[in-house]
Amino acid sequence: MLKGVSPLLSPELLAVLCRMGHGDEIVLADAHFPGETMGRRV
């Protein structure tokens, strides 16, 4: 059981974070985030 985890984090986000490996990155952005500024592969 996880304690102290904010209820703002959805179960889906927690599952993705759990599956991430070393060197993986995640971007938390709003709908107007210019993804092309992160490079060709987004």
For residue 42, name the pLDDT band (cuts at 50, 70, 90). low
The question of whether 32 is a catalytic residue gets the answer no
2-17 residue pLDDT tens: 789 899 999 999 999 9
CA distance 16 to 36: 22
Q: What backbone torsions phi and psi does residue 16 show, to the nearest 5 degrees?
A: -65, -45
Predicted local distance difference test score (pLDDT) of residue 21: 92
CA distance 42 to 37: 9
Catalytic residue among 1, 3, 10, 22: 22
Cα–Cα distances (Å) from 40 to 2, 34, 37, in that order, read 36, 12, 8
CA distance from start to end of the chain: 33
For position 20, what pLDDT does the model report? 94
What tens digit of pLDDT does each residue of 25-34 get? 988 888 887 7
